[in-house]
Structure 1
């Protein structure tokens, strides 16, 4: 770690398990998964109320994912120039206004556009929370902090559909978006009143378009950053493929009752949470890259088994469930460590690096989900092959990033 990187590390923040600033970061990180999972139970009611086919309602989810993928690129340079809090003010206000627009939408087309704007606002929290962690902590402590955030990422798929179902039954689908709006305003108040600015004034970056493009170009040429970012992105893409394809594979092909599908989803989320907490302990005494290398082989091997089983017609329900569990649980170790390693030497432009990392990862996730949907052939093969490719690609990308790390001169 360079001298400026060491200067940015605040030792007092590294000791508490959940300091207030990290809890606020967790709240910011939670907005995106909550925005995705909370309204899933409302799809049939939404389709009936707006008098459209449910496939049109599913496009609103696609619009949200596209917004998450492209919106992050704008917040990073802004946060490196004006600090971490101003982009949060902009993003959270946009999210709240767009959520209100969703609640008042009278057509699926307007809902789609409001969802896109909601994503553009919500992704500010993803970018800034990672940058704040990088501002305050060095790589090893960053990995532990990211592991703590995985608690939120794991709990959201469990709790959000339950909350959404309760709101739907009690107040209708529009109430879900009013809750989105209220949550954003509450987090905005917390950010304003209780969150301290973490950007060191000595690290302020110019916002000139040429400088921004130069920074992105330098990041794309940095093997360490690209490799570890894409290792996390490929693993996350496997999860997006699972989200897109598992309902059909498990419910339609293998006859799981839709009411029990949530238990399968929840079991995988608990596996992710458990491994994230295991990871927080592992990285105390072991190099981050060593833990990441071992963790990446789990989804790689599980994906290979899944693909072979689908090709040979032996993809029974127990095989599918076991492979899904291994792939999803492994992300509890993969995402925190790969994110920490990607940002380890980007302290002078943490916001821009966080933004590009998020854009790459959500773009890969969107592509993987689309690949499963477009390749739909009535079997488990598309999902199995996409997850296998994502697992293998993540291993290769980690090797690429490690090669860049090995070439970095000692500081």
Structure 2
């Protein structure tokens, strides 16, 4: 059982990581792109937001499509689009062209984000699903841990354009992996009733399910708080605190280690205490740490060490929240797992893009706007968790787990 979980996590994690690799590898290049294409911070961040928005929009298509035609064909199509978009980004003569091709690149990347979550639901539910999701995130962690370091190295050797040639190669490798190793988990007989009409009905069902939406929003604001760090950390750590792109990459990786490391405990902790209690408790810890960091910043404690230490602890708590809330959100929707996964992913990236856009209006060269945005997201997630997860079904489940 364990070896089968590890094998599935390796394949799904690598496919899932291709899109985020194009985000994390890109982060150290943002200041360089700003200078190279003669633009400003807001405009260069739009290239990141365009990727987020297309990731969100595209998942609405790929999710139902994977319910209709199976899990593998959408992955093939998405990786081809991603590769074409990456080539366009590598050859972009100006920031506006780069933004357009980043949007196209995101439309392809989202296939690798939404379909693996649906495959997890196809294969397992409950604590086994939580274990597989956490293992998938362990493999997925190759992106936030290694991508910034790889990106800074590529920038030094081949300029920022080399980043996009590198991810083009990753997409080609993903295609080979999907074609030769990945197994179809949506048999033909399960696709009979899946069509455009059923997809629209599925979205209508999900949008009426307040419990599902509550869990999706917990996950979305958790992810958005990480996006706030993604979009602003290179400017804060490089320009404000004076780190080199390489040192920034190490600093970024440290927080990713906390997030991914904590995620590995979701299966065991969920089995012992219940996934709902785990989410409720972890989100409290996350909000307390982030509010403490904001308070220190507002009090004038502008220390890189304090910032990194509290972000490390906070993102450890977040590593327990996101995979657990995602598993709970998909738990009751196995027949439309692709569509449910798509709406979950769309909400995550749209929420993330909106949060990044709002924070961008308050950028002042310090860490305060970034930290304020992260803290605000943590508070919203806390309120949603306390409201959504007080359901009787979870109280009973937690009592059984405690026994």
The answer to whether structure 1 residue 138 and structure 2 residue 125 are counterparts is yes
Separation in 2, partners of 1:296, 1:199:
34
Q: How far apart are the structure 2 equivalents of 1:64 and 1:243?
A: 13
Larger displacement relative to structure 2 (360-369 or 312-321): 312-321
How far apart, CA to CA, are the structure 1 residues paired with 2:13 and 2:367? Answer: 35
Q: 1:100 and 1:261, CA in 2 relative to 1: closer, same or farther beyond 3 A?
A: closer
Structure 1 residues 162, 283: CA separation in 2 closer, same or farther (over 3 Å shift)? same
Q: CA RMSD in A?
A: 2.6
In the alignment, what sits opposite 1:358? 345
Specify which of 220, 226, 235 is matched with residue 239 of structure 1.
226
Q: What is the deviation of 1:259?
A: 4.7
| Structure 1 stretches lacking a partner, 5+ long | 1-13
Give SS of 2:264's match: helix
2:159 pairs with 1:159 = no
TM-score normalised according to structure 1 size: 0.88
Q: Could you say which residue in structure 2 is the equivalent of 1:174?
A: 161
Counterpart position of 1:11: none
1:376 matched to which residue of 2?
Answer: 363
1:295 aligns with 2:286: no
Of the three residues 107, 113, 123, the one matched with 2:100 is 113
Aligned mates of 2:178, 2:241 — CA distance in 1: 46
- Give how far 1:313 is off: 3.3
The 10-residue stretch of structure 1 (388-397 or 137-146) with the greater mean CA deviation from structure 2: 388-397
Cα deviation for residue 383 of structure 1 reads 2.6
Q: Please say if residues 28 and 248 of structure 2, whose CA atoms lie closer than 8 Å, have aligned partners that are also in contact.
A: no
Moved more, 335-344 or 392-401: 392-401
Q: Which has the higher mean CA deviation after the structures are superposed, 303-312 or 124-133?
A: 303-312
Alignment check: 8 A CA contact 2:269 2:278 kept: yes
Cα distance change, pair 230–44 in 1 and its aligned pair in 2 (3 A):
closer
**8 Å CA contact retained: 1:155, 1:269:** no
Whole-angstrom CA distance in 2 between matches of 1:365 and 1:102: 22
Q: Which residue of 2 aligns with 1:7?
A: none
**Structure 2 Cα separation of the partners of residues 200 and 405 of structure 1:** 35
In structure 2, what is the equivalent of residue 29 of structure 1? 16
Counterparts of 2:246 and 2:156, CA distance in 1: 15
Give, in whole Å, the separation in 2 of the partners of 1:22 and 1:49: 39
Q: Whole-Å Cα distance in 2 between the matches of residues 289 and 394 of structure 1?
A: 13
Gaps of 5+ in 2: 398-403
Residue range with higher mean Cα deviation, 263-272 or 277-286: 277-286
CA offset at residue 52 of structure 1?
4.5
Post-superposition shift, 1:347?
0.4
What residue is the counterpart of 1:326 in the other structure? 313
Structure 1 residue 129 corresponds to structure 2 residue 127: no
* Residues 79-94 of structure 1 aligned to structure 2 (within 5 Å): 79-94=66-81
The two structures have a TM-score, normalised by structure 2, of 0.89
**What corresponds to 1:264 in structure 2?**
251
Question: Match of 2:57?
Answer: 70
Which among 175, 178, 188 is matched to residue 188 of structure 1?
175
Provide the aligned length of Structure 1 versus Structure 2.
397
Range moving further from structure 2, 228-237 or 121-130: 228-237
Greater Cα shift, 191-200 or 205-214? 205-214
